[in-house]
Amino acid sequence: MDASKLSCTTVTFGCPVDQAVRAMKQVGFTSTELWPRDYYFSNDGPDAVLNLLRDTGMAVSCYQNLRNYEGMPESQRTTKQRIAEQLFSQMQLVGTETLVLCSNIAPDSTGDEGRIVSDLCELGDIAARYGRRVAFEPICWGRWVRDYRHAWEIVKKVDHPAIGLVLDCFHMFTLDLPLDAIAAIDRSKIFIVEVADFPRGHFDLLELSRGYRLFPGEGYSPVGDFMREVRKTGYDGILSVEVFNTYYRTLAPDVIAKRARASLDPLL
């Protein structure tokens, strides 16, 4: 991993996406995680973000995100597929390959693993038609899949070239998961690696994730240990800092960008 493959998400910033992306570029980030709201941030339509990316030379590391897809009731399948196709179409325009799929939290979903595997295979086929791929992310408040080891077993069963993993240390550390299984993951199936830290305290996991994440090194998580295990896989792709913090969003974009970029130096 090197400084030429560093990414930051736009949601860390409380400013319009054009200011955020330019601030990232100024401090050395080469890519950004985009969200659908970024795609439509301007009254001028999607052309505004396309021009921004072209003018800055910034790539899009991943598109965030598809939710509550796998294991949903049959009556919702067509709707979920259409949503996925809309996202893949947007991704083609902004030039990003990877769509993040968060593990399902819907109360009407099923944890039947055969169904989850089947749905992910089907999603992989849709992604392949658009020339895209899907990174499955086990989130710590997921209804059926929370543990990265479980997610990896599912991805192996899916066995589709367009389906891989997000490895995000935040979701591992909030659940106190061991890190020793990371090194056994096939590096070609790690589509993106994300890092964040957090404070100690008694938080609801969703509240912690959405409002109190910190930049690596600003909290108590052993992010360096996580990165050492990731390096054992041989992974050499994108390293993205993904932080949701309500206070950070009140700060100037150049201040946030500098802190975000500086937090990654010890991990390289």
Percent of the chain at pLDDT > 70 equals 97
96 CB-side CA count, 13 A: 32
Token duo for residue 262: 């500086």
Q: b/e per residue, 92-107, with b = 16+ CB within 10 A?
A: eebebbbbbbbbbebe
- What is the residue-averaged pLDDT of the chain? 95
Average pLDDT of the residues in 159-188:
97
Quote the pLDDT of residue 3.
84
Among 205, 254, 238, residue whose Cα is nearest residue 14: 254
Indicate the residue type of 189. K
Indicate whether 245 pLDDT > 70: yes
Residues 101, 87: Cα–Cα separation, whole Å: 11
Residues 145, 234: Cα–Cα separation, whole Å: 25
Q: What is the number of structural domains in the chain?
A: 1
pTM value is: 0.94
CA torsion through residues 204, 195, 156, 134, sign: positive
Indicate whether 207 pLDDT > 70: no
Q: pLDDT category, 172, cuts 50, 70, 90?
A: very high
Quote the pLDDT of residue 219.
93
- Alpha helices, H only, 188-243: 205-211, 223-232
Among 111, 118, 93, residue whose Cα is nearest residue 39: 93
Quote the pLDDT of residue 41.
86
Residues 243, 139: Cα–Cα separation, whole Å: 14
Lowest-confidence pick of 10-19, 107-116, 196-205 = 196-205
Q: Which CATH number does the domain housing residue 243 bear?
A: 3.20.20.150
pLDDT tens digit sequence for 109-131: 999 999 999 999 999 999 999 99
Give the largest Cα separation in the chain, rounded. 48
Residue ranges making up the domain that contains 212: 3-267
CB 58 within 8 A of CB 21: yes
Indicate the residue type of 93. L
Q: pLDDT category, 184, cuts 50, 70, 90?
A: very high
Average pLDDT of the residues in 143-155:
98
CB 196 within 8 A of CB 209: no
Q: pLDDT category, 200, cuts 50, 70, 90?
A: confident
Q: What is the DSSP letter of 131?
A: T
Residues 49, 73: Cα–Cα separation, whole Å: 35
Quote the pLDDT of residue 208.
66
